[in-house]
Structure 1
Amino acid sequence: MRLDKYLKVSRIIKRRTVANEACDAGRVLVNGQPAKASRDIKPGDKLEIQFGQRTVKIEVLNVADTVKKEAAADMYREI
């Protein structure tokens, strides 16, 4: 699954366009490397997302095309 779509489906970032802009600005790292929005994400990848002054580190547990709001938090684990 594409990185920008994963961020939207897992509800880490609300809109896919915002996720795409964050990737283009270099605020998203996958396994320690800057990632483009089109990068494929698989379980076990570690993401670092910079929200202003705060950095969120998560590990991808599950990849699914559609998820209900209640199950979205089960797609990742905060480190």
Structure 2
Amino acid sequence: MILSKKSGLTNRQIKEICSKFNCRKNEFAVQKYQDGFLVAVNNKEYRVKFSEGIFSKVVYIKEVQRISKKVGRK
């Protein structure tokens, strides 16, 4: 899975991610995932959900395990 920098996040959501994960806005990648986002920061992936409304806050963070693709023999 490739995570991109273009995510559809608002500036407030980007600031919330930066404050929760103690990083800068160019140090993480985000991808829309189901009803939230996948955030990759510091070689780990997290599932993140935001509250509804104008002043959205992070309401859910859970680390998810990366599943690496197994390369078969040729």
TM-score by length of 2: 0.45
Q: By percentage of residues, which structure has more strand?
A: 2
Query: Quick check: which one's helix share is greater?
Result: 1
- Between Structure 1 and Structure 2, whose CA radius of gyration is higher? 2
Higher relative contact order (CA 8 A, sep 6+): 1
